[in-house]
Amino acid sequence: MIDKGVPTPAAAVAGIFHGASVMIGGFGTAGMPDQLIDALIDQGAGDLTIINNNAGNGETGLAALIAAGRVRKIICSFPRQSDSHHFDARYRAGDIELELVPQGNLAARIHAAGSGLGAIFTPTGFGTLLAEGKETREIDGKNYVLEYPIHADFALIKAEAADRWGNLVYRKTARNFGPIMAMAAKCTIAQVARIAPLGGIDPETIVTPGIFVQRIVHIASAAPSAAQAA
Amino acid sequence: MIDKGVPTPAAAVAGIFHGASVMIGGFGTAGMPDQLIDALIDQGAGDLTIINNNAGNGETGLAALIAAGRVRKIICSFPRQSDSHHFDARYRAGDIELELVPQGNLAARIHAAGSGLGAIFTPTGFGTLLAEGKETREIDGKNYVLEYPIHADFALIKAEAADRWGNLVYRKTARNFGPIMAMAAKCTIAQVARIAPLGGIDPETIVTPGIFVQRIVHIASAAPSAAQAA
Amino acid sequence: MQRLNREQMARRVAQDIPEGAYVNLGIGLPTLVANFLPAEREIFLQSENGLLGMGPAPAPGAEDPDLINAGKQPVTLLPGGSFFHHADSFAMMRGGHIDICVLGAFQVSTRGDLANWHTGAPYAIPAVGGAMDLAIGAKRTFVMMELLTKTGESKLVDQCTYPITGMACVSRIYSDIAIFDIGPQGASVVEMAEGLTLDELRALTGVPLIAGAALQPG
Amino acid sequence: MQRLNREQMARRVAQDIPEGAYVNLGIGLPTLVANFLPAEREIFLQSENGLLGMGPAPAPGAEDPDLINAGKQPVTLLPGGSFFHHADSFAMMRGGHIDICVLGAFQVSTRGDLANWHTGAPYAIPAVGGAMDLAIGAKRTFVMMELLTKTGESKLVDQCTYPITGMACVSRIYSDIAIFDIGPQGASVVEMAEGLTLDELRALTGVPLIAGAALQPG
């Protein structure tokens, strides 16, 4: 019998190695897998390349991972925020490498990785600093930049519910990067607020089929109702 | 108030012009929008370029459109079937142009069109007859073929339910090409078995957001229960 | 000269958004436009973090941390709204499915280049977010901005001096002093603040301006 | 020599599919494999027309025209199964998420080129379907075929004479006479029909064959 459930966040992040590339879901704090990140900090892996939309907020989650000195490089679209001081300090000190990617290209490159494409011509960024040095091409009268897929060794994402085969559904705008990161990583680890029985999620509504998910861990405290009460 | 509903299949296919490119959903007969195709035959537009996975089965639907002499070119992955005699005859007579595309490249090219990409490097077909004359490139040790998006003027698709904003849900494997064709066509026309009130479809389960749909028509007889009884 | 304030600018943009339009309102000033959309028009607001059919801010206490807009503010979803993932969301944008995108700007050139993501200052940490996708994706890109900087320089320029966000992507500028259409011939003036003349506007901006149809003597 | 019949070949392939594998079974002979998967193993069958967790054929009268496999035959969905659109389905394939794909073949070359989509006959109407995506997408591509044509020619060849479906994509061949692994060194023999010698097999195929580990004297 296949059961992708693991008992604890520590078990969920086991095997994430020094130097790994790790996608982390979330847009700001919505969909951010806080408990998995905490477990990753405890686990100790460093020299990580992180792919996320942002570069951490405040003191928890990705910001804490950065503060702990575990991140060598970050690929993201929007690092600078009012409370991104941990990233800011390490970036200004030259301790973290930044690859800045327009948000839609970030999504498209992650999606391309999950879909097995070798590269894509995207119109976003043409003629800008972020396309400098990149191959460009005019196709049907419009200009495009060649962008390559972003793969990762691991993805840490947050979903609303899972069954033991790893099928996932999400909650509202916490969905964001979860489904495409799940496709693009070799090992996708999801923290979920609820475990459903097999067949308990309507097959028409499954957003991420279990084929894209390797481990799930139930985090009751990650339930949105709890977050709302906080 | 926005209501994308139109009263009849004839109204739904109004404006499809001579020489238009028309995507038609369906994999075999599952998801094939039969009533819309019948209406298109009655409407009279010809010289059409059709994008579909197949090239018609038996005597109805796409096969009837071909038999009526309305199709100039077909882009598909699997034209030859035991009952594709209308296509076979016209193809052998040189009356229909065929662009044969591997099924996954067909899906990826339609998806690329809907997503605004200029071209994609795909591994499928490398080294085969179907990549002859196409640009290729080795990326990270793997070989890829450059393929271009497939756009269309119209898409005719079949879904299970819609609301007046054009949000769609599908039924089982009748989903197939519907969601991506809806993204890739300038005007997407959906025949649906049920009209839901606005808000009557759970927003977490909407497969095709209404932004991709321009017209919907209610075809009670297209309900799968009726099809099963037939 | 009677300049528009921020609310008046937002109201003016809202006037031009037709029923049934799919619209993305950028962070900052453009977000205000939502407050002035006529209640009798159904207009679909998209937020690039994965929702379509965005409604107004929730009542205090009813905020949901999983239901936010691109500016990470709590929002609501209208009946008929939907959720989707980031690749689908930017496919809507990049694929030309959004009718109108309204953005703020540091500068816009008379050929429609937009600069709104980076001051280019050497100490600044760059951040782009969805700006470049929004700039080039929509069928029409509207810019909302005050026409002059605090030191009186025109933000409508011959050539952007800040790093650009997108090339030739702006179709219309709504400012506190005038409204401009951007086309192959350059910038044409659609409307001006009461009491302003075209020559005064030319002097303020220092760029060539065409008199739009509505300014022509009948 | 004791050749395997079609059912025995399917049973032999099924033996090698481990629990938890994501598997696509091609149209024709490979479809038979589903009948021999051990009931105690959970194995995920994908069909490229948009379902994962495919179950057995429905009872007569319970067919649903909207629930079919890639061969357009009625099927069922297991609890835990899911539906998705064609682009997602082929992303599963092309993106390397499927562990094993089992396909029929006209020919396979000793370097793993597969020919199974087109006889190349001038009068034939070509049809490719998902064959090219399936051939190159899965982590491992198994071929199931009778080793010899009806006229006795080997389908394992030095160089395919039919138009190929994919280059160097086959990892293993299950035939009625022998099982071959395809690797950088060429074809190695994993198992042979009882009573057959390696030299006899070499004579039947006419291609260089390596003795696999299991055939080596202990």
The predicted-structure confidence for C95-118, as pLDDT tens digits, reads as follows 999 999 999 999 999 999 999 999
Which of A106, A109, A110, A117 should we substitute to test contact with B (largest number of B Cβ atoms within 10 Å)? Answer: A117
Contact C58, C78 (CB under 8 A): no
Chain A residues in contact with B123 by the CB 8 A cut-off are: 116, 118
Residue of chain B with shortest Cα separation from C43? B2
Answer yes or no: do D80 and A204 touch at CB < 8 A: no
Contact B140 A118 (CB under 8 A): yes
- Would you kindly state where each structural domain of chain D is located, as residue ranges? 6-215
Indicate which of C82, C85, C109 best probes the interface with A, i.e. most A CBs within 10 Å of its own CB: C85
Instruction: Give the nearest partner residue to C91 out of B115, B206, B210, using CB atoms.
Output: B115
Query: In Å, what is the CA distance from C153 to each residue of B188, C29, C159, C203?
Result: 46, 19, 13, 11
Our CA-based measurement puts residue C144 at a distance from the nearest CA of chain A, in whole angstroms, of 21
Q: Mind listing the pLDDT tens digit for each residue in D132-175?
A: 999 999 999 999 999 999 999 999 999 999 999 999 999 999 99
The pair of structure tokens assigned to D187 is: 């074809």
Contact check, Cβ <8 Å, C82/B198? no
pLDDT tens-place string over residues B109-167 = 999 999 999 999 999 999 999 999 999 999 999 999 999 999 999 999 999 999 999 99
Smallest Cβ–Cβ distance between C68 and the set A30, A77, A110 belongs to A30
Q: Which residue of A has its CA nearest to D23?
A: A211
Q: Mean pLDDT, to the nearest integer, of C43-48?
A: 98
Q: Do D50 and B104 touch (CB under 8 A)?
A: no
Residue A66's CB is within 10 A of a number of other CB atoms, namely: 25
Chain A residues closer than 8 Å to C124 by CB: 80
* pLDDT, position C173: 98
Q: Is the pLDDT of residue B230 over 50?
A: no
What pLDDT, on a 0 to 100 scale, did the predictor assign at position A57?
A: 86
- Domain B5-119+150-221: CATH superfamily is Glutaconate Coenzyme A-transferase (3.40.1080.10)
Question: The domain D6-215 is classified under which CATH number: 3.10.580.10, 3.40.1080.10, 3.40.430.10, 1.10.10.10?
Answer: 3.40.1080.10
Phi/psi of residue D114, each to 5°? -115, 135
Determine, for residues B211 and C44 on separate chains, whether the beta-carbon distance falls below 8 Å: yes
Task: Kindly report the nearest CA distance between residue A181 and chain B, in angstroms.
Answer: 18
> What amino acid occupies position A217?
V
Complex-level ipTM: 0.97
> Can you tell me the distance from the alpha carbon of A217 to that of A197, in angstroms, rounded to the nearest whole number?
14
CB distance from A115 to chain B under 8 Å? yes
CA distance C160 to A127: 12
d(CA C120, CA B195): 52
Let me know: does A52 contact A196? Beta carbons within 8 Å. Answer: no
Q: Label residue D119 by pLDDT band (50, 70, 90).
A: confident
**Closest CA–CA distance from residue A199 to any residue of chain D (Å):** 4
pLDDT band at C119 (very low <50, low <70, confident <90, very high): confident
User: Is residue A22 predicted with pLDDT exceeding 90?
Assistant: yes
Interface test with C, best of A54, A128, A172, A194 (most C CBs within 10 A): A128
Cβ-defined contact of A165 to D97 (cutoff 8 Å): no
At residue A225 the predicted structure's pLDDT band, cuts being 50, 70 and 90, is very low
User: How many CA within 13 A on the CB side of residue B56?
Assistant: 24
pLDDT at C217: 60
- Interface contact flag, C136 A78, Cβ < 8 Å: no
Q: Which residue of C lies nearest to A110 if distances are taken between CA atoms?
A: C87
On average, the pLDDT of chain B sits at: 94
Question: Which residue, C63, C90, C71, is CA-closest to C30?
Answer: C71
The pLDDT, as a whole number, for residue A82 is: 78
Q: How many interchain CB pairs under 8 A, A with B?
A: 64
Task: Please give the distance of CA A68 from its chain centroid, rounded to a whole number.
Answer: 19
CB C146 within 8 A of CB A105: no
pLDDT digits (tens, 9 = 90+) for B9-21: 999 999 999 999 9
- Interchain CB distance below 8 Å, C64 and A224: yes
The angle that helices B103-115 and D86-94 make with each other, rounded to 10 degrees, is 120
State the smallest CA–CA distance between residue A1 and chain C in angstroms. Answer: 31
Structure token pair of residue A205: 């509504």
Per-residue pLDDT at D215 exceeds 90: no
Average pLDDT over residues A33-44: 97
Question: What pLDDT score was predicted for residue A223?
Answer: 44
On the question of pLDDT at C187 being above 90, the answer is: yes
Q: pLDDT per residue over A39-56, tens digit each? A: 999 999 999 999 999 999
CA distance D105 to A67: 56
Contact B139/A148, CB-based, under 8 Å? yes
Question: Average per-residue pLDDT in chain A?
Answer: 94
Residue B222 has pLDDT above 50, yes or no: no
User: Which residues are paired to D52 by β-bridges?
Assistant: D46, D82
φ/ψ of C155, rounded to 5, equals -90, -15
Section B186-202 average pLDDT:
98
Is B202 within 8 Å of chain A by CB? yes
* Confidence bin at D107 (pLDDT 50/70/90): very high
Chain C residues in contact with chain B using a Cβ-Cβ cutoff of 8 Å: 19-20, 22, 42, 44, 46, 52-53, 77-84, 87-88, 90-98, 137
The per-residue pLDDT for B229 is: 37
Q: Compute the count of residue pairs across chains A and D with CB atoms less than 8 Å apart.
A: 60
3-class secondary structure, C115: strand
* Chain B residues bordering chain C (beta-carbon distance below 8 Å): 1-2, 113-117, 163-165, 167, 183, 198-199, 203-204, 206, 209-212
Of B123, B133, B106, B120, nearest in space to B27 by CA: B106
Distance CA A124, CA D83 (A): 31
Residue, of B82 and B219, whose pLDDT is higher: B219
| pLDDT exceeds 80 at position A227 | no
Instruction: Give me the total of CB pairs closer than 8 Å, taking one residue from chain B and one from chain D.
Output: 146
**Active-site residues of C: which are they?**
48
Average pLDDT over residues A9-28: 97
Is C94 within 8 Å of B117 when comparing Cβ atoms? yes
Averaged pLDDT, D180-200: 95
pLDDT in tens, A58-77: 999 999 999 999 999 999 99
- pLDDT at residue C122 is higher than 90: no
Q: Residue A230: is its pLDDT beyond 80?
A: no
In chain A, what percentage of residues exceed pLDDT 90?
91
CB atoms within 10 A of CB D167: 18
CB C14, CB C90: distance < 8 Å: no
Residue A205 distance to chain D (closest CA, Å)? 8
| C137-147 residue pLDDT tens | 999 999 999 99
**D3-62: per-residue pLDDT in tens?**
999 999 999 999 999 999 999 999 999 999 999 999 999 999 999 999 999 999 999 999
Q: How confident is the model at residue B221 (pLDDT cuts 50, 70, 90)?
A: low
Per-residue pLDDT of B71-115, as tens digits, reads 999 999 999 877 889 999 999 999 999 999 999 999 999 999 999
Q: Are strands B136-139 and B119-122 parallel, antiparallel or unpaired?
A: unpaired
Test mutation, B106, B121, B139, B170, chain A, max A CBs within 10 A = B121
The full set of domain ranges for chain B reads 5-119+150-221
The 10s digit of each residue's pLDDT in A122-165 is 999 999 999 999 999 999 999 999 999 999 999 999 999 999 99
Mean pLDDT of C136-161: 97
Which tops the pLDDT comparison, B226 or A81? A81
Is there contact between D and C if contact means ≥3 C-beta pairs under 8 Å? no
Helix segments in chain A, DSSP class H: 9-12, 34-43, 62-67, 85-92, 103-115, 178-184, 224-229
Q: Identify which of B78, B102, B172 has the shortest CB distance to residue D67.
A: B172
